[in-house]
């Protein structure tokens, strides 16, 4: 099924259209795998990337409408000193979806716990091992980070809303 990317739409399933994702990857370069994928495959991973980001992050602001299918658009979000329109999807989020979709073509980050990063330390013959499972690629997390509620270590997270 084709992507439905209408901001605030009741049946929207992606923040990024196929045209937007193709333009992102054309500008990005090193994307032969994206260009070689079928339209159906690219649309599938764009939808999946959107769903994973929506379930993984708690975004700033509040949903713009009770009828919208996705978490965006939102009200009460300020980004780079400007208020984000409650009828728009920020470019950063569309780029994050396009980037994550490309990663999902290469490797399923959502199968299990994602790739493992060994953050162990070795001193002489002794080695400690601290494995961290990465659910979202660092480049994607960096794009989304200005749009999400920060998590405070040990305190959970909270959001201040002005009336």
Q: Is 32 part of a structural domain of the chain? A: yes
Q: What is the pLDDT of residue 131?
A: 56
126 or 141, higher pLDDT: 141
Residue 63 — pLDDT band, cuts 50, 70, 90? very high
Statement: residue 65 has pLDDT above 90? yes
Give the domain extent around 138: 18-147
Statement: residue 73 has pLDDT above 60? yes
Statement: residue 57 has pLDDT above 70? yes
Looking at the chain, list the stretches that DSSP marks H as alpha helix, in order from N- to C-terminal side. Answer: 18-28, 32-36, 39-56, 91-106, 138-144
Digit-coded pLDDT (tens) for 94-118: 999 999 999 999 887 766 545 555 5
Highest mean pLDDT: which range of 48-62, 124-138, 140-154: 48-62
Digit-coded pLDDT (tens) for 117-132: 556 667 777 766 665 5
C-alpha–C-alpha distance, residues 147 and 90, integer Å: 9
Give the mean pLDDT of 68-72: 97
C-alpha–C-alpha distance, residues 89 and 144, integer Å: 12
C-alpha–C-alpha distance, residues 66 and 51, integer Å: 17
Q: Is 29 part of a structural domain of the chain? A: yes
Give the mean pLDDT of 30-53: 94
C-alpha–C-alpha distance, residues 21 and 155, integer Å: 37
Indicate the number of domains in the chain: 1
Statement: residue 135 has pLDDT above 70? yes
Q: What is the CA radius of gyration of the chain?
A: 18
**Numbers of helices and strands, H then E, in the chain:** 5, 8
Residue 155 — pLDDT band, cuts 50, 70, 90? very low
Q: Is 10 part of a structural domain of the chain? A: no
Task: Kindly give the interhelix angle for 18-28 and 39-56, rounded to the nearest 10 degrees.
Answer: 90
The 8-class DSSP code of residue 17 comes to -
Contacts by residues 88-91 (CB-CB < 8 Å, ≥ 24 positions apart): 88/7, 89/5, 89/7, 89/15, 90/147
Q: Is 160 part of a structural domain of the chain? A: no
Q: Is 1 part of a structural domain of the chain? A: no
Query: Residue 52's Cα: distance from chain center in Å?
Result: 7
Q: What is the pLDDT of residue 7?
A: 96
pTM of the predicted structure, to 2 decimals: 0.80
8 Å CB contact between 116 and 131: yes
Statement: residue 5 has pLDDT above 60? yes
Q: Is 6 part of a structural domain of the chain? A: no
């Amino acid at each position: 099924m084709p992507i439905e990317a209408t901001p605030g739409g009741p049946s929207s399933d992606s923040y990024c259209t196929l045209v937007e994702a193709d333009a992102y990857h054309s500008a990005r370069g090193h994307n032969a795998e994206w260009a070689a994928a079928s339209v159906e495959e690219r649309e599938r991973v764009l939808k999946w990337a959107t769903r994973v980001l929506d379930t993984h992050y708690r975004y700033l602001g509040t949903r713009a409408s009770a009828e919208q299918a996705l978490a965006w658009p939102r009200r009460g979000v300020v980004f780079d000193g400007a208020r984000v329109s409650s009828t728009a999807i920020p470019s950063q989020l569309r780029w994050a979806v396009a980037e994550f979709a490309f990663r999902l073509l290469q490797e399923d980050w959502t199968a299990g716990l994602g790739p493992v990063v060994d953050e162990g330390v070795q001193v002489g013959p002794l080695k400690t091992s601290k494995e961290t499972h990465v659910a979202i690629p660092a480049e994607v997390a960096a794009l989304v980070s200005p749009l999400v509620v920060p998590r405070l270590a040990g305190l959970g997270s909270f959001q201040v809303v002005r009336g």
